[in-house]
Chains A and B, each alone.
Chain A
Amino acid sequence: GQNIDQPTEMTATEGAIVQINCTYQTSGFNGLFWYQQHAGEAPTFLSYNVLDGLEEKGRFSSFLSRSKGYSYLLLKELQMKDSASYLCAVIDNDYKLSFGAGTTVTVRA
């Protein structure tokens, strides 16, 4: 099976920066996604990385290192509305998408 690890919980202050790490061991690699999920809602797409490096999209950035099996999601200038779960997901060689258990981020005033 696939193994995708990310921290269970993180807490940060409004206006700060938080980095959510994700490590993976999968049967091949065809891309990595980050999704955001607010409590009681459906996951929504944040970012997609298939090549090594940093992808920046506004306050959110995602980094990938394929050789290390590692990604992180960087949230800058945190806002209260960023309190949510963040899901790391990897596509393997069979094009199957597997999710990590998610990281719950709590933003405090």
Chain B
Amino acid sequence: IAGITQAPTSQILAAGRRMTLRCTQDMRHNAMYWYRQDLGLGLRLIHYSNTAGTTGKGEVPDGYSVSRANTDDFPLTLASAVPSQTSVYFCASSPDRGAGELFFGEGSRLTVL
């Protein structure tokens, strides 16, 4: 079934540790995104990629990095996790940036202690 796969679905992490959330899509979409969702704040864009080889900063990029080596994969890395990064993280894709609906992965629930 075509779509977006995220891993892990849930993770508890000690503060200061490095963590990479994986995201893979098989729809050949050019644009991919990482959002975090916190109660009362809604979805906030962390980083995005318009096409393979390019990335851009969203609304809340500090403490996060991304790479887009190919069309399908868009990993999100927390270099040194802090408790404020406890959140649900959603990866999404669209045919092109600003064009067409977003397709979301099932989310990764991250708890930083």
Contact = CB atoms under 8 A, between A and B. Distances in A.
A70 interface: no
Contact of A97 (B90, B102, B105, B106): B102
Interface string A63-86: 000000000000000000000000
B72 to A, nearest CB: 18
Contacts of A58: none
B98 A97 contact: yes
Interface of B: 33, 35, 40-45, 58-59, 90, 97-99, 101-107
Contacts of A101: 40-42
Interface string A1-37: 1000000100000000000000000000011010100
B90 to A, nearest CB: 6
23 contacts: A1-B59, A31-B98, A33-B101, A33-B102, A42-B104, A42-B105, A43-B43, A43-B102, A44-B104, A48-B101, A87-B43, A89-B43, A95-B97, A95-B98, A96-B58, A96-B98, A97-B45, A98-B45, A98-B59, A99-B43, A101-B41, A101-B42, A102-B42
B102 A45 contact: yes
Nearest to B96: A95
Chain B CB within 10 A, most for which of A96, A97, A98, A99 = A97
A43 B98 contact: no
Given A1-B59, A95-B97, A97-B98, A43 B42 contact: no
A48 B100 CA distance: 9
Nearest to B58: A96
B104 A100 contact: no
Chain A CB within 10 A, most for which of B44, B98, B105, B106 = B98
A91 interface: yes
A69 to B, nearest CB: 18
